[in-house]
């Protein structure tokens, strides 16, 4: 959420130009100036597609996490399913359902949309929207997953254990960690133990 009630004045920004572009992002270059034009700075920002992340939960309270290799850290990570919203997808919920089905072979009749956030407002223009998929079940006809660079192993983990994994640094992807923490009150309410 931007602060529309701020009394701060925005910086003056020049026309943007593309410094670099590839299939997943565009680097924009602009000249930023103070309002009195006494200081200037060349700024670079990243235009990426918006993202969705889904916390899939079974009827018994297990979270479905995906283990996959990530090139950025050259390591295997445990994450919630998620990915980029494709250009033709106008409804982010449909993108969330697609990612859930593609990465896990699961579906849900009840998907709760949570707020969207800026993953890094300092340099990125995109937004990540979070979802909880309750009572996930296998698809009757699994979606064919054809990405040879997305090898995935599924893990079923009690949701309280998944939160502990966030708190102890076993889940290192901050976007997935935040998804689980954001889902915590909803999952606590659904799976509250009788006193």
pLDDT averaged over the chain?
A: 93
- CA atoms 170, 175, 177, 180: torsion sign: negative
Q: How many CB atoms lie within 10 A of CB 53?
A: 24
For residues 109 and 88, the answer to whether their CB atoms sit within 8 Å is: no
pLDDT for res 193: 61
Residue range 90-103: average pLDDT?
A: 96
pLDDT tens track for 56-83: 999 999 999 999 999 999 999 999 999 9
Q: Is the pLDDT of residue 136 over 60?
A: yes
CATH code of the domain made up of 51-190: 3.90.79.10
Least confident stretch, 8-12, 60-64, 156-160: 8-12
pLDDT for res 194: 57
SS3 at position 177? helix
Distance CA 155, CA 23 (A): 30
What is the pTM (predicted TM-score) of this model? Answer: 0.90
Q: Is the pLDDT of residue 4 over 80?
A: no
pLDDT band for position 149 (50/70/90)? confident
Distance CA 96, CA 86 (A): 11
Domain segments of the chain as ranges: 12-48, 51-190
């Amino acid at each position: 959420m931007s602060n529309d009630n701020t009394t701060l004045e925005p910086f003056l920004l020049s026309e943007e130009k593309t410094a670099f572009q590839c299939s997943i992002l565009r680097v924009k270059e602009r000249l930023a100036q103070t309002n009195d034009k006494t200081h200037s700075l060349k700024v670079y920002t990243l235009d990426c597609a918006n993202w969705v992340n889904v916390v899939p939960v079974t009827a018994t309270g297990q979270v479905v996490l995906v283990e996959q290799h990530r090139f950025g850290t050259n390591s295997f990570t445990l994450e919630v399913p998620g990915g980029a919203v494709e250009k033709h997808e106008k409804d982010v919920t449909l993108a969330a359902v697609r990612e859930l089905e593609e990465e896990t072979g699961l579906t849900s009749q009840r998907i709760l949309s949570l707020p969207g956030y800026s993953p890094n407002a300092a340099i990125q223009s995109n937004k990540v929207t979070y979802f909880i998929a309750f009572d996930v079940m296998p698809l009757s006809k699994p979606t064919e997953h054809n990405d040879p660079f997305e090898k995935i192993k599924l893990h079923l983990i009690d949701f309280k254990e998944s939160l502990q994994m966030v708190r102890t640094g076993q889940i290192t992807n901050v976007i997935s960690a935040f998804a689980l923490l954001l889902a915590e009150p909803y999952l606590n309410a659904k799976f509250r133990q009788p006193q």
